[in-house]
Structure 1
Amino acid sequence: MSDITILHKKIGMKYSPFIIAEMSGNHNQSLFTAMKIVEAAAIAGADALKIQTYTADTMTISTRSTDFVVSDKKSPWHNQSLHELYQQAYTPWEWHQAIFDRCKELGMIGFSSPFDESAVDFLETLNVPPCYKIASFECTDIPLIKKVASTKKPMIISTGMSSIAEIDETVLTAKNAGCEDIILLKCTSTYPASPMHSNLKTIPNMKEVFQCQVGLSDHTLGIGTAIASVVLGASVIEKHLTLSREDGGVDASFSLEPHELRMLVEESKSAWQAIGNVHYGPTEAEINSKSYRRSLYITEDMQKGEELTKSNLRVIRPGFGLAPKYYDVLLGKKVNKNISRGTALTWDIVE
């Protein structure tokens, strides 16, 4: 499968994971906080900062009828109406240009998840986003997929809740509408998500089935799940970011704080480097260490013609003598000259 380039960043298994910091609604309706989150993401080493483009009215309607109220008692948004939730969480559209500009100043890629066609039209007027993200809940919104794909920009698509048939339909729709570069993200759409439900083995399967770059949109607590995904082939990792979980906010409870994002950046790169290639034998870095293996050494002063015994021949470190596998063969053999204690045993001193 081909690598993908988004602005100055190349995405693929030949490169360290592309790390996306998701701001979501963690700005708590403060532009000052939003800018601090952008700066924190850059300091932590994230490659990209993502926001979301919608309004409460483009997402849903204002009502508290049963269908429109979060009923799950385990949800951080329990008993809120959808309209109320999105009113709290949305990023004002008049902030977008300033956020994207600040990302560019700090060397990060700034982009967004549009949630309806009007959001795509708006983002296109900014002439900024080099790619688009499709949220899991919009993965099956075929009209939106067509609209975004028609921009011909790379699409990063979260697949939480989606069956393989639904993902296939979305991918085919995007390709037929003009999108050539697609990245799928394995995702578990619970908040927070449990590592037990992350099913990271899906990542290599998804790469094989859809022949595209695959990553992880991770809502678990901490960074362990994200790091594990790298070993299974994730080339992109998306995590929510907040300045402090104590600040509260719609997504704060399952978001990383800046020092944790820094750990994710560093450890995901380490995990990627550790994958390496199939290799046996010493690496270049291990060559010098071979001298500290065990080998055969004379451990007592010996006279010419004296036999090698268990008391004067031992398997010890370092490794400059004959290999330990010859120990039984050499017992009882005679030395052909006087030998000092601490001499590495070699064939030329044995009769």
Structure 2
Amino acid sequence: MNFMHKLRETNKTFVIAEIGQNHQGDINIAKELIKIAKECGADCAKFQKTCLTEKFTVSGLNRPYKSVNSWGDTYGAHKAYLEFSHEEFIELQNYAQEINILLTASAMDPESLNFLKEITVPFIKIGSGDSNNLLLIEQAALTGIPLVISTGMINFDTVKRIYDLVSKYHNNFALLHCVSAYPTPYENINLNVLNAYIKEFPDIVIGYSGHEIGIQPTVCAVAIGAKIIERHITLDKKQKGSDHNCSLEPPELKQLIDQIRSIELAMGDSIKQIQNCELSCYEKLGKSLVYAFDFSKGHKLKKDDLKIKVSYPKGLDGLLFDEVVGKNINCNVKSDDPVLSEQFS
């Protein structure tokens, strides 16, 4: 059974705590965030892995970057400051294994994809920034490793192209509805896209990667049917960096996961039946068939001879009304007596 099939077969939502680059380039902060993800109940901690010269052009790296969020004078220097080396990433992977939480990363380019393949991760993430990079997506599909693909900044036709492309190789992948705005205004979240994905792609896992302020839409996504949830996490929303303001601090992450687990319990199995917890209420308030008048033995019951009331002791269930009409009673009964099965020949 492949990774995604297991997710489809369970009632549990798979929660990814996206650390991204909210570690501020500090491996100790990165480890602290991994630990927080574990303590809050997340299933996986995730980073971003980039070979800068593969992802960006020379001019893109050399352009000046003057921003309150900048860690360098150029965009390349800024990104380099936040990028962990292969050795550091393996150190983080080992730490995650020690505390028993999965760890992976978004592959931002072919070299990073190969690195993640070599170190064996549970799945590879393709971020929305590469949702139009069909070359990278196909290379990722060819690895045979499970994929989680975000779909921000593209339309539904492109989503279908991604689905068709990866499906040529396997169906061990997930598509996440995502809006790439940090934060995403509530009026642009468009959770109903999840319904469209679930209908259009019934053989794969569908999830939600949220960038909104708060947790309510994310919890709603689970109720709609998202099997994977991804949210950015941070130690402090006020830290330097463009992702922090729409990330979840530890108490929010814990609250989100607790609410997701509650929603999972509440969703049930879609079988409508009397629940055990309802039985005491039924015994107290459930209505029974009773006689509307006094009747003598041998009387043939008509519709107007019966009423449905709360009775003690209980009689036959009110749903049996039509089955009782037309029967002859075998004893004398009084008004308001419960109708019992032994009263019929």
Q: TM-score, normalised by structure 1?
A: 0.76
For the 8 Å contact 2:54–2:110, the answer to whether it is kept is: no
Structure 2 alignment gaps of length 5 or more: 289-307, 322-331
In structure 1, the residue matched to 2:279 is: 287
For the 8 Å contact 1:25–1:88, the answer to whether it is kept is: no
Name the SS for the 1:51 alignment partner.
strand
Amino acid across the alignment from 2:222: V
Amino acid across the alignment from 1:203: L
In structure 1, the residue matched to 2:83 is: 90
Q: How does 1:206-285 map to 2 (within 5 A)?
A: 206-210=197-201, 211-285=203-277
For the 8 Å contact 1:293–1:318, the answer to whether it is kept is: no
Q: State the alpha-carbon separation in 1 of the partners of residues 163 and 98 from structure 2.
A: 33
Q: State the alpha-carbon separation in 2 of the partners of residues 85 and 317 from structure 1.
A: 76
Deviations 1:58-106 (A, max 9, x none): 43222448xx999xxxx988xx975465345434433210111122222
2:19 to 15, 18, 23: 23
In structure 2, the residue matched to 1:309 is: none
Amino acid across the alignment from 2:130: E
Q: State the alpha-carbon separation in 2 of the partners of residues 100 and 239 from structure 1.
A: 20
For the 8 Å contact 1:24–1:52, the answer to whether it is kept is: yes
Q: State the alpha-carbon separation in 2 of the partners of residues 292 and 86 from structure 1.
A: 67
Name the SS for the 1:129 alignment partner.
coil
For the 8 Å contact 2:194–2:206, the answer to whether it is kept is: yes
For the 8 Å contact 2:104–2:122, the answer to whether it is kept is: yes
For the 8 Å contact 1:22–1:50, the answer to whether it is kept is: yes
Amino acid across the alignment from 1:93: H
1:39 is aligned to 2:35: yes
Q: State the alpha-carbon separation in 1 of the partners of residues 313 and 233 from structure 2.
A: 51
1:119 is aligned to 2:112: yes
Query: How far off its partner does 1:33 sit?
Result: 0.4
Q: State the alpha-carbon separation in 2 of the partners of residues 216 and 138 from structure 1.
A: 17
Cα gap change, 1:319 to 1:136, in 2 (>3 Å): farther
Amino acid across the alignment from 1:201: N
Q: How does 1:78-227 map to 2 (within 5 A)?
A: 82-83=75-76, 86-87=79-80, 89-125=82-118, 127-176=119-168, 178-210=169-201, 211-227=203-219
Cα gap change, 1:161 to 1:286, in 2 (>3 Å): same
Cα gap change, 1:316 to 1:346, in 2 (>3 Å): closer
Query: How far off its partner does 1:264 sit?
Result: 1.7
Deviations 1:230-258 (A, max 9, x none): 12110000000112223343311111111
Cα gap change, 1:322 to 1:11, in 2 (>3 Å): closer
Query: How far off its partner does 1:146 sit?
Result: 2.0
Query: How far off its partner does 1:285 sit?
Result: 2.4
Greater mean deviation of Cα atoms: 39-48 or 248-257: 248-257
In structure 1, the residue matched to 2:299 is: none
Name the SS for the 1:273 alignment partner.
helix
Cα gap change, 1:214 to 1:145, in 2 (>3 Å): same
Q: State the alpha-carbon separation in 2 of the partners of residues 116 and 228 from structure 1.
A: 33
Cα gap change, 1:315 to 1:238, in 2 (>3 Å): same
Q: State the alpha-carbon separation in 1 of the partners of residues 155 and 109 from structure 2.
A: 22
Cα gap change, 1:145 to 1:281, in 2 (>3 Å): closer
Q: State the alpha-carbon separation in 2 of the partners of residues 249 and 82 from structure 1.
A: 13
Q: State the alpha-carbon separation in 2 of the partners of residues 272 and 83 from structure 1.
A: 43
In structure 1, the residue matched to 2:6 is: 10
RMSD: 3.6
Q: State the alpha-carbon separation in 1 of the partners of residues 42 and 311 from structure 2.
A: 46
Query: How far off its partner does 1:171 sit?
Result: 2.5
Amino acid across the alignment from 1:17: T
Query: How far off its partner does 1:345 sit?
Result: 4.3
Structure 1 alignment gaps of length 5 or more: 297-313, 327-335
Name the SS for the 2:3 alignment partner.
strand
Q: State the alpha-carbon separation in 2 of the partners of residues 273 and 13 from structure 1.
A: 15
Query: How far off its partner does 1:201 sit?
Result: 1.5
For the 8 Å contact 2:49–2:106, the answer to whether it is kept is: yes
Query: How far off its partner does 1:12 sit?
Result: 1.5
Name the SS for the 2:208 alignment partner.
strand
For the 8 Å contact 1:293–1:319, the answer to whether it is kept is: no
